[in-house]
Copies of this chain bind each other. A is one copy, B any other.
Amino acid sequence: MTTGPHAESTTAASDPGALSRRRLLGVAGAGALAGAAGLGGFGVAQAQQEDNSPDAGLGYAFHGEHQAGIVTPAQDRLHFASFDVTTDSRDALVALLRAWTEAAAAMTAGKAVGSATATSYDSPPGDTGEALGLPPAGLTLTFGFGPTLFEKDGVDRFGLRDRRPAGLRRLPHFPGDDLDPARSDGDLCVQACANDPQVAVHAIRNLARIGFGTVAVRWAQLGFGRTSSTSRSQQTPRNLLGFKDGTANLKAEETADLETFVWVGHDDDPAARWLAGGSYLVARRINMHIETWDRTSLREQEALVGRDRAHGAPLSGGTEHTEPDLDLQGSAGPLVPLNSHVRLAHPTQNDGTRMLRRGYNFTDGSDSLGRLDAGLFFVAFVRDPDRHYVPMQNQLSAKDGLMEYLQHTGSGLWAVPPGVRPGEYVGQALFA
């Protein structure tokens, strides 16, 4: 099996799982030296140290009660991928989830994909290689199951129909929606977040490669500059409207509210207990009419948002984290206008609902008129989409003054199974 100096099997018997991407370089180098004599000096190479990133130590555990990438402090970059399952075989689907789980555990720890013994010099490399030498960079991989995995065109594809959670349906049409089917839905989704886009892209690419023949990428979205902080340790970033976004976001530290609004409870859906400890991922690709917005007065912009631009303070006064006073009147009505985003998204206007959002800015170039194809890739994790997302979005789509500058062009809903225990695979309880 070991046929050349670069075979990774040199030390595989000892502890393949402990091969970090960086140590692997050293190991391969040693292998190169050991194997060189037999190949006439072909590919002789020295092991060398590499450490070219400041966040080399940042890695998040893959295993846990909940999947990572939900309350994890939002990383700077996103590569989100939606997959269609192309097989009819339940066994093949389960095998894929096993393989994805193994690969995800490796990559989030900064290790190369692939069993160290599986690679020979005459085979394709187990890992595509572009992240070799890079640290974990805070990589998280979060997996979700779409409604069509349970039933599609009336067909119970994988014997899962009876286990579909009641809340897992295609999102309804909202006022103003202009959805592109090629940017919507999907049987499976993977959210890759990292502080280095090369690490996030590497992860999705290797998962897609592992899934060749079982799944195909339906659509994908790159994002940057998290638009919602998910931890009190983070500053509030700005979206492409130029405003701070996510000031009132549900944060990792608010554990009681997380139980109420994010994590699916044990008794939420007796037919889908496998989802307990999980959540639902709502994705919306929201284009912004950037050029029009940029020609709007600061006064109008702030009135539509309901906050001042410089600091993110509500127009009722105070500083960024001051609670908006929705009743406070100015000379021409409420200081926080009736059609402002802050008012319409406020818990008091939404049956007390709070939301954990985890969106990213996106820029996908320009259209044929030279306008930016850019906006917000909205991601939220909710316990019950019918209570915690749909009503609010209906209200925003119908009344939010910002909608004049927004266009929802993509949409998806996935059930996000709970965290994975060592030795199990993601979503295992669904197939048990």
Residues of chain A touching chain B, judged by Cβ–Cβ distance below 8 Å, are 4-6, 24-25, 28-29, 32, 40-48, 50, 52, 54, 77, 79, 81, 84, 119-125, 127-133, 182, 196-198, 201, 205, 208-209, 212, 216-222, 224-225, 234-235, 237-243, 290-291, 294-299, 301-302, 308-311, 313, 315-320, 330-331, 335, 361, 363-366, 368-372, 374
Q: Which of B128, B212, B301, B366 contacts A219 (CB 8 A)?
A: B366
Q: Which residues of B contact A198 (CB under 8 A)?
A: 224-225, 237-238, 361
Q: Which residues of B contact A84 (CB under 8 A)?
A: 370
13 A-B pairs with C-beta separation under 8 A: A28-B311, A42-B315, A43-B302, A44-B313, A45-B311, A52-B235, A79-B363, A125-B309, A129-B243, A130-B361, A198-B225, A201-B240, A219-B366
Q: Which of B47, B123, B302, B315 contacts A298 (CB 8 A)?
A: B123
Q: Which residues of B contact A42 (CB under 8 A)?
A: 315, 330, 335
List of 3 A-B pairs having minimum Cβ-Cβ separation, nearest first = A129-B242, A216-B370, A198-B225
What is the CB-to-nearest-CB distance from A47 to chain B, in angstroms, rounded to a whole number?
8
- In the complex, which of the residues A290, A298, A366 has the most CB atoms of chain B within 10 Å of its own CB atom? A298
With A4-B299, A25-B310 as known contacts, state yes or no: A209 contacts B294, CB within 8 Å. Answer: yes
Copies of this chain, count: 2
Q: Which residues of B contact A366 (CB under 8 A)?
A: 81, 217-220
Classify the secondary structure of A's interface with B. Answer: loop
Separation of A130 and B241 alpha carbons in the complex (Å)? 7
Task: Tell whether, in the assembled complex, residue A308 and residue B197 are in contact, meaning their CB atoms are under 8 Å apart.
Answer: no
Q: Which of B222, B294, B299, B371 contacts A128 (CB 8 A)?
A: B294
Task: Tell whether, in the assembled complex, residue A125 and residue B298 are in contact, meaning their CB atoms are under 8 Å apart.
Answer: yes
Task: Tell whether, in the assembled complex, residue A121 and residue B298 are in contact, meaning their CB atoms are under 8 Å apart.
Answer: yes
Separation of A6 and B158 alpha carbons in the complex (Å)? 58
Separation of A129 and B128 alpha carbons in the complex (Å)? 38
Task: Tell whether, in the assembled complex, residue B335 and residue A122 are in contact, meaning their CB atoms are under 8 Å apart.
Answer: no
Task: Tell whether, in the assembled complex, residue A43 and residue B129 are in contact, meaning their CB atoms are under 8 Å apart.
Answer: no
Separation of A19 and B240 alpha carbons in the complex (Å)? 22
With A294-B209, A298-B125, A365-B221 as known contacts, state yes or no: A311 contacts B25, CB within 8 Å. Answer: yes
Separation of A45 and B244 alpha carbons in the complex (Å)? 14
Q: Which residues of B contact A364 (CB under 8 A)?
A: 364-365
Q: Which of B4, B219, B335, B371 contacts A41 (CB 8 A)?
A: B335
Q: Which residues of B contact A77 (CB under 8 A)?
A: 197
- In the complex, which of the residues A4, A130, A243, A299 has the most CB atoms of chain B within 10 Å of its own CB atom? A130
With A40-B330, A238-B133 as known contacts, state yes or no: A125 contacts B205, CB within 8 Å. Answer: no
- In the complex, which of the residues A54, A237, A365 has the most CB atoms of chain B within 10 Å of its own CB atom? A365
Q: Which residues of B contact A225 (CB under 8 A)?
A: 130, 196-198
Separation of A89 and B275 alpha carbons in the complex (Å)? 64
What is the CB-to-nearest-CB distance from A125 to chain B, in angstroms, rounded to a whole number?
5
Q: Which of B24, B224, B361, B370 contacts A218 (CB 8 A)?
A: B370
What is the CB-to-nearest-CB distance from A428 to chain B, in angstroms, rounded to a whole number?
26
- The closest CB in chain B to the CB of A41 belongs to B317
Separation of A300 and B297 alpha carbons in the complex (Å)? 59
Separation of A391 and B46 alpha carbons in the complex (Å)? 34
Q: Which residues of B contact A316 (CB under 8 A)?
A: 41
Task: Tell whether, in the assembled complex, residue A295 and residue B124 are in contact, meaning their CB atoms are under 8 Å apart.
Answer: yes
Q: Which residues of B contact A237 (CB under 8 A)?
A: 52, 198
Separation of A374 and B79 alpha carbons in the complex (Å)? 13
- The closest CB in chain B to the CB of A223 belongs to B197
What is the CB-to-nearest-CB distance from A148 to chain B, in angstroms, rounded to a whole number?
16
With A221-B365, A243-B129 as known contacts, state yes or no: A32 contacts B297, CB within 8 Å. Answer: no
Extra contacts, 6 of them, besides A32-B310, A201-B363 (Cβ < 8 A), are A41-B317, A41-B330, A43-B313, A46-B311, A128-B242, A198-B224
Separation of A296 and B45 alpha carbons in the complex (Å)? 21
What is the CB-to-nearest-CB distance from A188 to chain B, in angstroms, rounded to a whole number?
13
Task: Tell whether, in the assembled complex, residue B298 and residue A4 are in contact, meaning their CB atoms are under 8 Å apart.
Answer: yes
Task: Tell whether, in the assembled complex, residue A310 and residue B28 are in contact, meaning their CB atoms are under 8 Å apart.
Answer: yes
What is the CB-to-nearest-CB distance from A83 to chain B, in angstroms, rounded to a whole number?
8
Separation of A24 and B310 alpha carbons in the complex (Å)? 8
